[in-house]
Amino acid sequence: MREAAKIIHINFYMQTPTFYSKEAALKYGSIYMANGADSLLPMGVSNETLKYMADNHLVVFGHVGALSGWQTSRHGGYKRLGLTAEDAMKVFRQAYEYQENGMMGMTIELTPIEVTNAIAKKLRVPVVAICAGGAADGSEMVDFDTFNMMPSLASHAKAYADFFKWATSAYGAWAHDVRTGGYPEDKHGFHMEERELDKFLNILEQKY
């Protein structure tokens, strides 16, 4: 990935088993950064593990708000957060603790516009909004939304292409060709020399 994308910031998503302990987080995080990652995203990381990573010179760009992946069920599912003052303070406290334990920046997901902006304003580190409205310090949108790769568009998203329509049309045309004999044609393959073909068929006939 680093070879293909030399000038962009790569925030490497760490799978949960790679930071089950602070020692594991340091081991795997060091490997990822040595191989070209600019920063690391251990979603749902504990403050203790985060501090250990930061103290050992790993750059962590983390995440607060709604969590996706293995941690989703533990936090009550993928849903909007920060709809009450108390809930919003929970999100802020986690973001603040992350900052104080060495996180260099974070994304914030599925929080109200007002909460997103208030948290971004209070923190010293960059806050990037995803599904969270607001300006914050930046905005993130996943490729599935940007290119409209799903049957329906999420409420937070804006599509800048119509990949789903293009892809279904392309797959439909290919399937039609396969069913009607339009693909593959002779030109899409290659042939065996006739002498070798005869030898092969004779062996098949004699032994099987």
Structure tokens that stand for 8 in this block? 């962009």
Indicate left, alpha or beta for 128 from its phi (over 0: left) and psi (-120 to 50: alpha). Answer: beta
Task: Give the pLDDT confidence score for residue 78 in this predicted structure.
Answer: 77
Q: Do β-strands 39-41 and 11-13 pair in parallel, antiparallel, or remain unpaired?
A: parallel
List the chain pLDDT tens, one digit each, 208 residues.
788 888 999 999 999 999 999 999 999 999 999 999 999 999 999 999 999 999 999 999 999 998 876 666 665 677 888 999 999 999 999 999 999 999 999 999 999 999 999 999 999 999 999 988 877 999 998 899 999 998 888 888 899 999 999 999 999 999 999 999 999 999 999 999 999 999 999 999 998 9
Query: What distance lies between CA 92 and its chain's CA centroid?
Result: 23
Q: What residues does each domain of the chain span?
A: 11-140
Question: Could you tell me the pTM of the whole model?
Answer: 0.80
Architecture of domain 11-140: Alpha-Beta Barrel (3.20)
Q: Which amino acid is at 20?
A: Y
| Distance in angstroms (rounded) separating the CA atoms of residues 193 and 204 | 17
CB 63 within 8 A of CB 140: no
